[in-house]
Amino acid sequence: MTEIAFTQMKDIKEVMLSDISNERISQIILSEGDTQDHNTNLKCDMTQWKLHEKYKDVKKLSIIVQNTVNDIYRKRFVLDECWGAVYHKGESSIPHTHFPNTLSFVYFVQIPEGSSPLIFDESHKWNMEKEITEKHIIVPKTGKLVIFPSDCKHSVPPSVIDEERIVIAGNLFYLPNKVELK
């Protein structure tokens, strides 16, 4: 008898973006400061949730992200939230998901050498027969966009470097073609 191992694997995409004003976006995120007082799943400085509605450079990036997602999946997704985060030495994010959103993303704005990775903890790959999970580690790089299903649990280990790790993250929802937003 042949043994079959059933594996469920969620699709995590990595795309390099170019022509993004990373320096300007870094300045925006740093100028916003920590508006969340470390009271979210991110235990670092975090901006307001709708940063793309306040700054044209972040809006431009959010449109690029949304268009990239729509091109990859050949469906219509709409950006709902977009925020910035700055990780200082010792700061991290605890394991969390972005459910009930459909897709989420992280864009690496400023990533110094030795920055903490993005880790998909237990919901990325599930071997049903062995009842085990496998971690998926994303090595951050300035300009890299990571797109993932919002129900994938992920985290960032504590930073061990003195420089700032700066990202923009956000959530998108699926919008059927016959539905229009007002």
Rounded Cα gap, residues 28 and 24, in angstroms: 6
pLDDT tens across 93-131, in order? Answer: 999 999 999 999 999 999 999 999 999 976 555 555 555
Specify the pTM. 0.89
DSSP β-bridge partners for residue 84: 168
Confidence check: pLDDT of 5 > 50: no
The H or E element containing residue 13 is strand 13-16
Comparing CA positions, the residue from 104, 82, 81, 84 lying closest to residue 151 is 104
CA dist 18 and 108 (Å) reads 12
Name all domains of the chain by residue range, CATH numbers in brackets. Answer: 10-174 (2.60.120.620)
